[in-house]
Amino acid sequence: MDWTPCLTGAANQGEAPSLGQPDVDDYLRFVAARARANTLLATTYDLKVFFSVVGKEPAEVTTRDVMAFLRDQRAPRRGPGVVRIEDGEAGLSARTVKRRLSSVAGLFSYLIARGDAGITTSPVPHGLSTRNSALRGRGVPLIRTPRTLPRVLNPAEVDAFIAALRTDRDRAMVQAMLLGALRRSEVLGLRLDDIRVGERRVFIADGKGGHQRLVPVSSTFFATLADYLRQERPATTNSKVFLVLKGPRRGQPLTSAGLDEVIRGAARRAGVAVTCHEFRHTCLTRLREAGMALEAVQAQAGHRSIESTRIYLHLANGWLEQEYRRALHALEIPAPEGGAS
């Protein structure tokens, strides 16, 4: 079977892509009805990769096939001895493989629930069995994803990057992430009515998971935004804040690809390797460093769980050392020389 997806217009028109297999396509239509375009396309690609490797119909897939798929995905991709610097892994990242496995598991859970595909059990195991009685029933995860700390930009890197931006529009977008901790999609999704100038806040109408929030942002952002709206933004009835400034798409909403191009260009000119998410991480880390309560950082970030916010306890410069020194002082043990006091 040819597992080439038909993606024509699917992402933008809410239509489900097709992989040419009735049961899989039915599941993709189910995903399209309840998830966002990016989730739909990621799920489609994950299933395309899985069935391209396995080469079987869904009803024929076994647990052995799933295990073979995991080995294939974790095999070195760039030649022997070549690993990623950030995590030391040779194959695809554990997060990528885990996401693909989740997409496959979702398909089989759906087919089991539907009840007419001839599938009664999922070939995707929840985990490996263990002799430890305390872990029985839960097992060992098939894929262990490392908990890595995101990179935080230092002030010099921030200054160099901001200086490399060429328009007020670009500076306003970066400041929304750097000073307000907005996600890339949230910046691009802003509408004129979402800007609360008098309150110095912005309304996030469609955050991650469809959740909304109202967050404060520095006056620096609003000043830059005002310059963009007054001097650069094309005259149009489009309600989106950030628009394309030139070319055949002038006046249309800026896309994710367009924002990524802006970031790559400025990063190249500034000599700073950076991503949109690192601006957000930098903002949240600095807020925590300045003493902002963890619950307030959670609200600013739009995290549904406080556990997602706890990482910023460990990112804040000197936080761990200060807590360690405080504990040593309470125990009347001499603190190590040097470092933060």
Helix (H) or strand (E) holding 91: none
What local confidence, expressed as pLDDT, does residue 194 receive?
Answer: 96
Query: At how many degrees (to 10) do helices 155-164 and 256-270 cross?
Result: 110
Q: Is the pLDDT of residue 319 over 90?
A: no
What local confidence, expressed as pLDDT, does residue 257 receive?
Answer: 93
Cβ atoms of 64 and 46 within 8 Å: the answer is no
- Give the least confident one: 113-117, 149-153, 194-198, 336-340: 336-340
Query: b or e along 101-136 (b: 16 or more beta carbons within 10 Å of the residue's beta carbon)?
Result: bebbbbbbebbeeeeebebeebbbeeeeeeeeeeee
Render pLDDT for 228-272 as a digit per residue (tens, 0 to 9): 999 999 999 999 999 999 999 999 999 999 999 999 999 999 999
Render pLDDT for 103-160 as a digit per residue (tens, 0 to 9): 999 999 999 999 998 899 999 987 654 445 454 445 556 666 666 677 889 999 999 9
CATH node for 10-135: 1.10.150.130
Q: Provide the 3-class DSSP secondary structure of residue 126.
A: coil
Q: What is the dihedral of CA 75, 77, 80, 86, to 10 degrees?
A: -90
Taking the C-alpha atoms of residue 66 and residue 166, their distance in angstroms, rounded to an integer, is 49
What local confidence, expressed as pLDDT, does residue 11 receive?
Answer: 45
Q: What is the dihedral of CA 183, 187, 191, 192, to 10 degrees?
A: 130
Taking the C-alpha atoms of residue 215 and residue 206, their distance in angstroms, rounded to an integer, is 13
Cβ atoms of 72 and 48 within 8 Å: the answer is no
Q: What is the pTM of this model?
A: 0.71
Report the amino acid identity of residue 123.
Answer: P
Helix (H) or strand (E) holding 187: helix 184-189
The CB density around residue 336, as the number of other CB atoms within 10 Å, is 9
Q: Provide the 3-class DSSP secondary structure of residue 249.
A: coil
Strand partners, 236: none
Q: Is the pLDDT of residue 12 over 60?
A: no
Where in the chain are all domains bearing CATH 1.10.443.10?
155-322
Q: Provide the 3-class DSSP secondary structure of residue 213.
A: strand
Where in the chain are all domains bearing CATH 1.10.150.130?
10-135
Summary mean pLDDT of the chain: 85
What local confidence, expressed as pLDDT, does residue 139 receive?
Answer: 53
Render pLDDT for 275-314 as a digit per residue (tens, 0 to 9): 999 999 999 999 988 889 989 999 999 998 888 888 877 6
What local confidence, expressed as pLDDT, does residue 165 receive?
Answer: 97
What is 155-322's CATH number, 3.40.50.1980, 1.10.3720.10, 2.40.30.10, 1.10.443.10? 1.10.443.10
- Which pLDDT band holds residue 338 (cuts at 50, 70, 90)? low
- Which pLDDT band holds residue 2 (cuts at 50, 70, 90)? low
Taking the C-alpha atoms of residue 52 and residue 2, their distance in angstroms, rounded to an integer, is 8
What local confidence, expressed as pLDDT, does residue 291 receive?
Answer: 84
